[in-house]
Amino acid sequence: MAVDLGHRSGEEKDFPETLGRYRLVRRISTGGMAHVYEARRESLAGVAPRVAIKVILPEHARDMNFQRLFVNEARIGSQLQHPNLVQIQDFDREKDCYYLVMEYVEGPTLRRVLSLCKRNGLGIPLEVIAEVGRQMLEGLQYAHTAIDEEGTPRRLVHRDIKPGNIILNPQGVVKVLDFGISKALTGKESGDGVKGTWGYMSPEQARAAPTNGAADQWGVGAVLFELACLHRIFADRDPTVIRDRMEKDDAARQASTLSGPYRDLGPILVRALQRDPMARYTNALEFSRALAKLVPDPIVTRDALIEFHKKISTLEATRLQGGDLVRSHSTLSRAPSHKSMQTGIPVAVGNVHRARSAAEIHPAAHRPDPETSRRSKSAKSNGPGTVYLAFVGAALCVLVFTVLQIFSGKPGVEQAPSVQIAQPVPVVAPVPPVVVAPPPAKAEKSRPKVTSRPPAKAVSKPEPKPVVAAPSRSPVILAPPPPVEVEPEVETGLVSISSWPKSKVYVDGVYLQDSPLWRHVLPTGAHTIRLVTEDGRSHQFQVEATKGRPFEQIWHFDEQTWINSGP
């Protein structure tokens, strides 16, 4: 008769009191394959250490495939002894119900941590992310290199690294659990197909190809990316879409966009999330050492991890008491765009900085002043009273004054229109004086007086000043605008250059930035590119910038060759 661990209606508990020599206390969680309970192992003199018991779900209890995976987890886990792996203490059977006894780890899974951070708009510090990843990789490196009692390497691969399988305890220790679908050299699996969790499994797992420790590197990279951005690297649920984005190296491209406090994490994840397993780190230990460079001091970082655990525990306690904090509307909790990246190689190691707005740098300076808002609302509430009437009166005065100035001027009085400076008024040539001949009767008497005066003083009256018409009635001649020189359009091409390790990029002898140089615009033609690493190694080559044909290359200094060439 089977032990019923399912729901029992009408009872306070929906699980039995005991299982073997263990007393079940409460149900911790339920997964797709099993229940997990907190239990006490009954011993002499009242000694009852806490343990965690994993039991296959009743609907899968007789499924041979689930039983095989369960036994596989118990067999492999019992042979692994590492502080960053959950220890298997016992494996037994009650009637036809198998159960697995593990060490009890107090603390939330990373899935719960992510949920609380999203709900409350809490960002995860960089040193916490780096330390979590470092400890995960320490445990996985041990599993990858473990040997059996005869000295034969086991070559274990977890194959199901995801936030739900990582626990953070109050002492700042990270634990990896659930080796249920792990694969060893000595363990053959029948009908081995796609195994893992979509969105966290590696591209080779998605293709049902052979896997090694590099597959777990990809899973760790996906988890760390989610901790930094608070959203999954692939939010799609369709396996076909996820597989297509993997083949386009979309994961590495997304990691290359990390900026702000996570800009130094981006290059590390870019390498771990490469589509090609050979392009990732040599092993999990090398990946761990890269993350360790982001940790300023091990002791200080462990304290930061403990403080972060306390903050998460406070948020969880607040939620359970019904006083859940207000959800944040920050951009961290927004879902990413599902649009896949363009095809081509991922820009490998380097820092990509995103320009931040003034509101992001100094948010307090861009918040509205309460006093100013109150005055503005008060002014609006007064309606169009005194201010409006004053404005209308002033406008009428200006209009009347302008009309009087235009139409009330007297002849002979020169008016200086305002447009006389900006636009020239046509100059009227002075009219020469007209000498009118006297009548014939008085011609003889007046002839001597007329001829005795000099011709230059024939007219003694001053010349009348020309009257300048009002601007509204006189034609204005506009000077033609100067000719605009149109520069001929220069054809350009796009060049993407990166390297491993990162280097300084010089184009035609001019330093531009550290690698990667992503889609840099250059005039078409040949250009000289020079890469210089921090340790003094350099590589110089020629690039032909061609319109419509982007150039994309990654130079590997250690191997002195190009890797992951684009089209």
Q: How confident is the model at residue 35 (pLDDT cuts 50, 70, 90)?
A: confident
| Residue 109 pLDDT | 93
Where are the domains positioned within the chain?
1-104, 108-343, 492-563
pLDDT cut 70: percent of the chain above it: 67
Max mean pLDDT among 47-51, 57-61, 132-136, 493-497 falls in: 132-136
In the predicted model, what is the mean pLDDT of residues 478-493? 65
Q: Please provide the average confidence, as pLDDT, over all residues in the chain.
A: 75
Architecture, CATH, for domain 492-563: Sandwich (2.60)
Q: How confident is the model at residue 552 (pLDDT cuts 50, 70, 90)?
A: confident
Q: Over the stretch 218-227, which tens digit does the pLDDT of each residue have?
A: 999 999 999 9
Average pLDDT over residues 510-528: 87
**Alpha carbon distance 557, 554 (integer Å):** 10
pLDDT score, position 285: 95
Mean pLDDT, residues 533-553 taken together: 86
Q: Which amino acid is at 396?
A: L
> Is the pLDDT higher at 478 or at 51?
51
Segment among 73-87, 305-319, 386-400 with least mean pLDDT: 386-400
Show the CA angle centred on residue 456, arms to residues 452 and 460, nearest 5°.
Answer: 85
Q: What pLDDT score was predicted for residue 173?
A: 95
Integer CA distances (angstroms), 329 to 4, 61, 205, 393, in order: 44, 44, 36, 48
Q: Which CATH number fits the domain 108-343, given the four candidates 1.10.510.10, 2.120.10.30, 1.20.1290.10, 3.30.70.3000? A: 1.10.510.10
Q: Give the per-residue pLDDT at 564.
A: 56
Given this model, what pLDDT does residue 13 score? Answer: 61
Give me the residues paired with residue 543 across strands.
527
Q: 122 or 427: whose pLDDT is higher?
A: 122
Active site residue 63: no
Whether the CB-CB separation of 340 and 247 falls below 8 Å is answered with: no
Catalytic residue among 4, 63, 90, 160: 160
Has residue 43 got a pLDDT over 70? yes
Q: Which CATH class is domain 1-104?
A: alpha beta
- Two tokens at 336? 């990413």
Q: What is the pLDDT of residue 127?
A: 95
Sheet holding 561-563, edge to edge: 517-523, 492-500, 551-556, 561-563
pLDDT at residue 40 greater than cutoff 80: yes
What is residue 375's predicted lDDT score, i.e. its pLDDT? 52
State the average pLDDT over residues 527-539.
Answer: 88
Residue 506 has pLDDT above 60, yes or no: yes
95-124: per-residue pLDDT in tens? 777 888 999 998 999 999 999 999 999 999
Residue 271, pLDDT score: 96
pLDDT of 114: 95
More confident residue, 214 or 12: 214
Section 30-37 average pLDDT: 80
Angle made by CA atoms 255, 327, 363, in degrees to the nearest 5:
70
Percent of the chain with pLDDT over 90: 31
Report the interhelical angle of 284-292 vs 126-145 (nearest 10°).
160
Q: How confident is the model at residue 69 (pLDDT cuts 50, 70, 90)?
A: confident
Which residue reads 């390297």 in tokens?
A: 499
Q: What is the pLDDT of residues 398-412, one digit of tens each?
A: 787 776 766 655 444
> What tokens appear for 344 in the block?
């081509």
3-state secondary structure of 401: helix
Average pLDDT over residues 488-513: 85
**pLDDT score for 117:** 94
Per-residue confidence (pLDDT) for residue 338, from 0 to 100 = 36
